[in-house]
Amino acid sequence: MTRLAFIGGGNMARSLIGGLLKTGIAPATISVAEPSAEARQALGREFGVACYAENRLAAAAAEVIVLAVKPQVMPAIQADLREPLQRHRPLLISIAAGVRLDQLERWFGNGLPIVRCMPNTPALIGAGATGLCANSRVSPAQRAQAQHILDAAGMTRWIEDEALMDTVTAISGSAPAYFFALVEALEDAAVAQGLPRDTARALAAQTCFGAGRMLTEGGEDPALLRQRVTSPNGTTQAALESFGADQWPRVVARAVAAATRRGAELAAELDKLP
């Protein structure tokens, strides 16, 4: 059994641990480093995994280490982890948003097999979408290991060009907020037309959920699904024409471009850290 260590026991780590246990992974093979005593106790009670206050203890003998901490914490944890990582050379998986492979190599040392991942918040309910990118030292078996771990929280796709990971962030990492904003707008618009707020929210949220299932489970082109809903001169056509008048596709394109650009800027800011 592969021994797996999580550095950081926050929400994303919890979702991955819970998903892995459902696939049959034994709790005894998982360890977690978490500075909060209360969080360590909760993780132990819920999952039966070993929890440690010190990163070095959790990482000892691990074949795969998942860095589940905030980007700005990465330089700080290198003091604990750089030496054991260089000695044992485990597979290193980072789920820290925006942290590049070369930055991870600078902090934790060259020669490590590293996979950079960008999951999103629906991973917390097992419905995530994750992009993965590996450096040249990751073997096919290690790619499979990384994919199995992230598959526990939803679907995964490999991105061969790391430069595109900022776009992955824009269309999946950040994008749940876009859908939440859409539901907010639909809710407010329906309330303005006279619907009770709870009814408006329930209808808008369930519609987003159902439309998402049609896309993911049916495998059909979204343009085709849109056309099927749109009767000539009907209500849907009227709404879509209004979207078109407001240049909806350009609005979305500008938003994605802004998020992609900001992702690159945040990574550049991390270059200034020691």
**What share of the chain in percent tops pLDDT 90?**
88
Whether the pLDDT of residue 246 is over 80: the answer is yes
Q: Which domains does the chain have, with CATH numbers?
A: 4-166 (3.40.50.720), 173-266 (1.10.3730.10)
Two tokens, residue 58: 């959790």
Q: How far is CA 11 from CA 76, 139, 165, 258, in A?
A: 20, 28, 22, 27
Say what the pLDDT of residue 58 is. Answer: 95
User: If you search the block for the tokens 């001169």, which residue do you land on?
Assistant: 233
What is the pTM assigned to this prediction? 0.90
Whether the pLDDT of residue 273 is over 80: the answer is no
Predicted confidence band at 208 (pLDDT cuts at 50, 70, 90)? very high
The span from the CA of 271 to the CA of 274, in Å, is: 8
What is the C-alpha radius of gyration for the chain, rounded to an integer number of angstroms?
21
Whether the pLDDT of residue 144 is over 70: the answer is yes
Backbone angles phi, psi at 38, to 5 degrees: -65, -45
| 3-state SS class at 183 | helix
The span from the CA of 52 to the CA of 58, in Å, is: 6
